[in-house]
Amino acid sequence: MTRHDETVDVLEQTLDCYDPAERAAALKALLRKAAEGEIALPTPGAFVNLHAHTFYSYNAYGYSPAGFAWRARKAGLAAGGIVDFDVLDGVDEFLASARQVGLPACAGIETRVFVPPFATRVINSPGEPGIAYHMGVGFVSSNVTAEQSDFLARLQRIASDRNRSIVARVNPALAPVELDYDRDVRRLTPRGNATERHLCLAYARKARERFADLEELAAFWSEKLGTDARSLDLPEGPRLQGEIRAKLMKRGGVGYVAPDQGAFPTMEELNRFALSAGAIPTLAWLDGMSDGEKCMEELLDYAAQSGLAAVNIIPDRNYTPGKIDAKLQNLRSFIALARERQLPIFVGTEMNSPGNKFVDAFDTAELAPYVPEFLRGARIAFAHTALQAAAGMGYSSEWARARLPDPKDRNAFFEEVGKRLDPRRGAPAGALSPAMDPEAALKACATDAAAASNATR
């Protein structure tokens, strides 16, 4: 490795440190190297990832918001987006970093919600009837109103209480390996917003501290997990963490905490929160195999009553390359249904488990036919973010609902804006006003884009 490569590597590692000032300085240095030709940034292609988690919830590779923005641009993604669990902590940093690197971007939140009409049916949270992972996409800042802040605090309180309950149940089962939640777990994320996956990592690390000898460590985990732990990539690899989660924390495990009706906000409450913050309520779809997702039209109808305007897919979960099976048929049917209802499709992969891809394999025979649809969703999400930030004229705004009441027209408008805007500049705030009609708004964006292009010549 050359000295140059070492410097770039160190800077990229610094992007993921917990100090915001150091992250900002590292990104600035990397961009300087790119400008000087030391780092090649490719022409953006057709792949997108709008569903990456960052270290503000859980990213298996430790990526910060700035770290993901840089890597997405370096990988030639056409667009990138983050979706952290229960928090908006990374929104401002990610959007600012994306603008610096020239990446069309959006930012969201993901949490679990209760869906009353589906109380007896599993949706997309395995083994938990009535509970669904649900999203809001297109937030423009983590600075929210007092009421919105209270809602976020509720989400984090729910998660913290559940995590502490899991630890209280698992500690006796894993003795003498026991966690102190505040000391051992919360420090694994910059602002203490730990997830279940942090618990698994913390238990793996605590066991490594307790059993320095690898054979003793293997014997400990073999006994506690009821399997030959020598095959679980000790001391803290992904298979071990997955086994800890599956055997101890999921349904049937000693640490499992069953949710009740009051454990999570309702889908309606999350949709209302997203709309109040200028974001797009987004339904997360898994694979259509559960009882709840088999009734997808019913679920979409219910969600639409409280403002649902888009859907999210993690494509790689929905097929096996070269195999035509029920999951692939479900994917095709769901995409057709989203098209019929004029719901933008936001896609991406989470990176919330070791071994997850950085981006889905859009060039496979199964996904390639849908790339235009995925790009369209990404452009809509980017345009929404830019227009909402500039003038409160986002996809779910009063302006959009009044001026573009037909979802087909709204999609076409935001897709076109997404094509025209320079991601380094965003939308021209001074030239936009909610008093404008869509044609004038589009013209303002096009004029600004042309001026930016001329200025760089």
Predicted local distance difference test score (pLDDT) of residue 355 = 80
- C-alpha to C-alpha distance for 232 and 229, rounded to whole angstroms: 5
* pTM confidence score: 0.94
- C-alpha to C-alpha distance for 104 and 89, rounded to whole angstroms: 19
Predicted local distance difference test score (pLDDT) of residue 6 = 64
Could you tell me where the beta strands, DSSP code E, fall in 115-157? 131-137
Q: Which of 108, 116, 429 is nearest to 283 (CA)?
A: 108
**Secondary element (H or E) of residue 108:** strand 105-114
- C-alpha to C-alpha distance for 81 and 20, rounded to whole angstroms: 19
Predicted local distance difference test score (pLDDT) of residue 257 = 86
- C-alpha to C-alpha distance for 237 and 248, rounded to whole angstroms: 17
What tokens appear for 21 in the block? 């000032």
Q: Which of 116, 96, 120, 117 is nearest to 107 (CA)?
A: 96
Q: Where are the domains of the chain?
A: 1-38, 41-144+277-455, 154-249
Predicted local distance difference test score (pLDDT) of residue 321 = 87
The model's pLDDT over 226-284, given as tens digits with 9 standing for 90+, comes to: 999 999 999 999 999 999 999 999 889 999 988 766 789 999 999 999 999 999 999 99
Predicted local distance difference test score (pLDDT) of residue 389 = 97
Q: Which CATH number fits domain 41-144+277-455: 3.20.20.140, 3.40.930.10, 3.40.190.10, 1.10.1530.10?
A: 3.20.20.140
What is the mean pLDDT, run by run of 10 residues, along the chain of 457 residues? Answer: 66 97 97 95 96 96 97 98 97 98 98 95 92 97 96 95 96 98 96 95 97 96 95 92 94 87 88 97 96 96 95 89 92 96 97 87 94 97 98 98 97 97 94 96 81 51
Any bridge partners for residue 346, and if so which?
Answer: 312
- The one-letter code for the residue type at 104 is P
- C-alpha to C-alpha distance for 307 and 267, rounded to whole angstroms: 10
345 HSE (CA, 13 A, CB side) = 23
Predicted local distance difference test score (pLDDT) of residue 1 = 36
- C-alpha to C-alpha distance for 344 and 303, rounded to whole angstroms: 15
Cα separation values, 15 from 24, 26, 61, Å:
7, 6, 12
Cβ contact 312:137 at 8 Å: yes
Is the bond preceding residue 176 a cis peptide, omega within 30 degrees?
yes
Predicted local distance difference test score (pLDDT) of residue 452 = 56
